[in-house]
Structure 1
C-alpha cells in the first residue's frame, strides 16, 4: 500500500526543511507519495505540488489582508482534496496561521498531523499552545529549548535540530570566500545586511549606511559588502546608497540557481562551483570579519558562520501597532530578539532596536565587533557551542516521526 503524505510549506526555509524530510521518508518508504503545497527543493525530491509555495508567501499583515481571498481559495482547495481522499499523515511546515487551521480540520477527520517548526510561542502569543494541542499530533522543533516547552504542556514533541547547522561548515574558510569574491584576503570587511523585504530596506537601510559612513571615517580602507536577494531589493538599496554614499561599498548579487538546499556533501575547499551554489549572503558572511544585520534568520546564519555581529530592527509605527494588537503584547516574553541570543539565553551580541538603532550607536557597536579581538574570540566560542547543539540528523529524525504517525493511523 502506497504511503500518502500531505505536506504544506509556504516559505523558502520551509521548502528546505520539507525537502530534507521527504528525503528521509523516501529512504524508508521509496514508493511514498508526498503531495500538497511546496517549492522547488521539495519538487526535486519527487514532491507533487498542487500549488506552488508562492501561493502562501506573504510579507507582513498588510500583504496578508490584500491576499486573503486567494489564501482562502487555496486553503479550501487542499482541505477539500484531503478530506475526500485522506492522506496517511499530514505535515505542516511552518506557516502556522495556515497550517494549524488545516491541521485542526484534518485531525478531526482522523488524520494524524505533524507540525514542523514550532511557532515562536516562547516570544509571542503563548496562548497558541492550546490550539497546537488540539490541532497537532506531534511537534517537530528546531531548537532544544522548545522541546522543554511542549513537554511541559504535554504535547508530543521531538527536537530534530536545525538543518542550517549541517549545511554551514563548523570552521568556515574566510580566505576562500574572499578569493571567490576577488578581494584582498587581508582586508577588514563588514557584511551589511539590512534585510530582504522592502520595508526593511526602507527603515534599516539609511541607518546602516550612515553607520557605515562613520565606520569608514575610522578606517578608510574598510570594505563593506552588501548581499542582495534579488534585483528589486538591489534597486531599492542603490537608491539609498546614492543618498548615503559609502566608500568601498560593493553589492553582491545572488547567483542564478543559488539555494540553501544544495548538498551538504559538496566539497568546501576553494571552489567557484561551491560558492556559486550558495546564497550570496552566505558567501558575504563567510568573507566578513563582522556583520551588521537585521533581526531574523540571517542572525542565526551569521552565528553559524561564527561572525561577531550587531543585530538591529526597526518597525514602522503602523506595524508596531498591528503587532501589539495581534499579539496583545508590547514586547516579546523573552528579553532577546536575535536568535543567537535567544539560544544562548544571554546578550552574546548587542541588539539595537527602534529608537536605540541610531547610526552612531550602530557604528560604535560594530566597530567593537570589527576590532576587539578578545571580544570576537569569546563570541566565536559561544557561537560554536550553539552550532554543536543544533547539529542533528534532521532528515532521519523528522522522517521517523512522520512514518510512525502514519503507521499508527494505518493500524
Structure 2
C-alpha cells in the first residue's frame, strides 16, 4: 500500500487560515488519510492540521515591520524548506502571503516538489514583471477572480479560476431588515455604514473625512443613522475617540461584524480593498475612497496598470461605483455621491442587478474547485 499523501500548506493571515481550512476539508474528501502540515491558524488546526509555527509570526504588514523581522522570517522559511524537502512532501500550497510564499515555492519546485499558489497577488495591477517569478515558482496558480486567470493564461502560467469562497457563503439576496433587527435598529430610516479601513493610518486619514461626509449628508437626511464596524479592538478605541467629537451623530459602533454592518445599510462609504467585494456580494451601493501620502500616491499611481482600484469596477470592466481618490476625496464630492444613492432608487436597482450578475460569476466552486484542481495536479504526477 502507498503511504498517505503529505500536503504542505502555508497561510500567513486570518483570510488564508479560512481558505486553508476549507481546502483541507475538500481535499480530505479525495484523500481521507492525507497529512497536512506547515503554517496555519485555529481554523486549519481544527481540521487536523499541524502548524510548525504560530501563524501570527508571518502576519506582518507595511514596509518597516517586515524588514525588522527579516532574520526571523528567513529562518522560518529555511526551516519549512528543509522540512518539506527532507520529508518529500507530495504537494506544497502557499495560501496568499506572496512575499513569503513565492520564494519558498520556487526553491521547493527546483527540488522537484509540486507547488501551487492559492490567491493571486495583484500582479495584473502593478509590478507585472513578477509574473516571471510566479511562472518559475508554481506548477499551478489558483485564482479567485476570472480576470486574474485571463492574465496568467496570457503569460502561459498554468491556472485555474476557482471562484471566491465568499460568493458561495453570502446569499444572493441580503435580508436588510433582519440585519437591522439583530443590531436593534429600526426597520425603516436611512442608514449609512462607514468603513475607513483596518489600519491606524487609514482611520487617521479617512475616519474624520467620512464622519464629515455623514454630517454633510444629514442636512438632507436628518434621520440618518451611522453604523461603524471596527476591524480590531485598537481600531475600536481609535474610532470611539473620533466619534466623541461628533456628539450629535446617531451612531452604532461595532467591534467587528463588518458583514452585518453592511447588510443593515442602505449605502456603504468605504476605503478601497477587499471590503468592496464584500459590499458588492451583499448587494450594497457603495462609494469608494482612499488617500495616500503625496509621494506614495505619485509612485503607486505611476505603477498601476489598471484604470480602477475597486473590485466591482475591475470585475465589470466599467465604472459601476464611484472611486473618489486622493485630491478627489473631498467632503463635497463624497457627500454628493453618497446622497445620489439615497435619493435615486432607479440607480440603486440597476446597480444591484449588475451586482447580482457579478456575484453569480464568482460562484465557481471555491474550495471544492481548488481541491479538484490540486487532485488533477497530483494525479498527473502519479499520486
TM class by smaller structure:
over 0.9
1:245 CA displacement: 4.4
Number of paired residues? 381
Residues in 2 aligned to 1:352 and 1:145: alpha-carbon distance in whole angstroms: 23
Return the alpha-carbon distance in structure 2 between the equivalents of residues 85 and 336 of structure 1.
45
Q: Say which of 308, 323, 333 aligns to 2:285.
A: 308
1: distance between equivalents of 2:106 and 2:312? 32
CA contact (8 A) 1:10 1:57 kept: yes
Matches within 5 A, 1:4-403: 4-245=6-247, 247-254=249-256, 280-317=257-294, 319-320=296-297, 324=300, 330-403=302-375
Provide the residue aligned with 1:276 in structure 2.
Answer: none
Q: Deviations over 1:27-63 (max 9, x none)?
A: 1111111110111221122111111221111221122
SS in structure 2 at match of 1:218: coil
CA contact (8 A) 1:212 1:246 kept: no
* TM-score of the aligned structures, taking structure 1 as reference length: 0.90
Aligned with 1:232: secondary structure? helix
Asked if 2 retains the 8 angstrom alpha-carbon contact of 1:88 and 1:410, the reply is: no
Q: Secondary structure at the match of 1:221?
A: coil
User: In the aligned structure 1, how far is the partner of 2:303 from the partner of 2:156?
Assistant: 27
Quick check: 2:10–2:39 contact (8 Å CA) kept in 1?
yes
Deviates more, 1:333-342 or 1:359-368: 359-368
Contact 1:89 1:405 in 2 (8 A): no
Distance 1:369 1:70 in 2: 49
Q: Report the 3-state secondary structure (helix = DSSP H, G, I; strand = E; otherwise coil) of the residue aligned with 1:243.
A: coil
For 2:25, what is the secondary structure of its paired residue? Answer: helix
Contact preservation (8 Å) 2:119, 2:143: yes
Instruction: Write the deviation string for residues 249-284 of structure 1: whole angstroms up to 9, x where unpaired.
Output: 120123xxxxxxxxxxxxxxxxxxxxxxxxx11001
1:57-82 Cα distance to aligned partner (Å, 9 max, x none): 12211222222222222212211211
Are 1:161 and 1:390, in contact at CA under 8 Å, matched by a contact in 2? yes
For residue 84 of structure 2, give the secondary structure of its aligned residue in structure 1. helix
Distance 1:314 1:188 in 2: 27
Deviation at 1:146, TM superposition (A): 1.5
Whether contact under 8 Å (1:226, 1:252) holds in the other structure is yes
Q: 1:202 to 1:246 in 2, by over 3 A?
A: farther
Residues 6 and 220 of structure 1, relative CA distance in 2, 3 Å threshold: same
CA distance in 2, matches of 1:112, 1:348: 40
1:273 corresponding residue in structure 2: none
Q: Which structure 2 segments of 5+ residues have no match?
A: none
Q: Secondary structure at the match of 1:227?
A: strand
Query: How far is 1:300 from its partner?
Result: 0.2
Contact 2:277–2:311 under 8 Å retained in 1:
yes
CA distance in 1, matches of 2:35, 2:62: 33
Contact 1:7 1:93 in 2 (8 A): yes
Q: Distance in 2 between matches of 1:45 and 1:405?
A: 22
CA distance in 2, matches of 1:220, 1:66: 49
Mapped partners of 2:64, 2:293: distance in 1: 13
Structure 1 alignment gaps of length 5 or more: 255-279
Distance in 2 (alpha carbons) for counterparts of 1:184 and 1:244: 21
CA–CA distance in structure 1, aligned partners of residues 39 and 338 of structure 2: 41
Shift of 1:210: 0.8
- Select the structure with the greater relative contact order (CA < 8 A; seq sep ≥ 6): 1
Report the Cα distance in structure 1 between the residues aligned to 2:145 and 2:135, rounded to whole angstroms: 19
Q: In the TM superposition, what is the alpha-carbon distance from 1:319 to its structure 2 partner?
A: 4.3
1:406 to 2:378 alignment: yes
Write the distance in 2 (CA, Å) between the matches of 1:70 and 1:241: 39
> Relative to 1, partners in 2 of residues 1:390 and 1:158: Cα closer, same or farther, differing over 3 Å?
same
Cα distance in 1 for partners of 2:367, 2:310 equals 26
Q: Which whole-Å CA distance do the structure 1 matches of 2:365 and 2:248 have between them?
A: 43
